Every structure is written in structure tokens, then in C-alpha cells.
Amino acid sequence: MELLKKAGIFAVLFAVVLFWGTRDGGVCAGDYKDLNAIVAFTGTQFEITNNTPYGWRNVELTVNKKYILRINFMKAKETYTVGAMQFTKKDGSRFNPFTHAPLTFQIVCDFAGGRGFYACRWK
């Protein structure tokens, strides 16, 4: 029962974070917990900036809740450029920026202080 309650609270917080995401010239930014990032989409690539003073480990990036890219480490205060077609679904199909628009972006990672989360959405 306690696990269901925590899952419900997490779901509400996730929805709030998605709701507060912004779209401004292809850039969305936001904070959740200790994770601070900026994600921009150029049309074919994602530019992900780690705005925190610490590195992220075991990074999982997700586009549109189904296309995933895993990265071992992202340094603090650095921007990473990632081709959109590097994101894949579980069945191996790739995110195609020419046929699909990125609507949501999520980051989950580990860092020295625990686990971090970031989410944004484009309109």
C-alpha cells in the first residue's frame, strides 16, 4: 500500500513537471529536485546541457516516452550533442526527426547526492 502511495505521488510530481515544461525557440528548461538541465532540439539533434555542479552517471535519456538512449557519464557544466536517430525503442526502431516531432524529453540519472530527474515538453 505504501509503495502505491509513493508511486501515486511520483506520478503527480511527474505530471506537474511535464506541465511546467516550456517551448521557446526549440529550447525547454526546468529543474526537478537537484537536476538542472537545458534541452534544445535543432531539428536533427538534441543539445543536452548539464547545468549542475556535478556529473551524472548511468544517464537515461528518453524522447516521447518510448525512445531511449543510455550514456555512462555526462560531465558537469557541459553540453552534449546527440543525433536524434541514436534514440531507439525496445524493438530497435529509431526516432526519426523527419517523421516524428519530439514532444517530451526526460533525463534520469545517478549522481553523488542520489538519483536525479528532469522532464520537459514541447507544445
Q: Which of 10-24, 40-54, 75-89, 93-107 shows the lowest per-residue confidence on average (mean pLDDT)?
A: 10-24
More confident residue, 107 or 33: 107
- pLDDT value of position 107: 96
More confident residue, 63 or 15: 63
Beta strand pairing call for 35-41 and 27-32: antiparallel
- pLDDT value of position 39: 96
Location of C-alpha cell 514532444: 103
- pLDDT value of position 34: 67
- pLDDT value of position 112: 84
| Residue 5 binned pLDDT confidence (cut-offs 50, 70, 90) | low
Q: What is the pLDDT of residues 55-83, one digit of tens each?
A: 999 999 999 999 999 999 999 999 999 99
All three cell numbers of 116: 536525479
For 24, 35, 59, 60, 101, the CA distances from 110, given in Å and listed in that order, are: 28, 10, 7, 10, 28
Q: Is the pLDDT of residue 10 over 60?
A: no
Q: Where are the alpha helices (DSSP H) in the chain?
A: 2-20
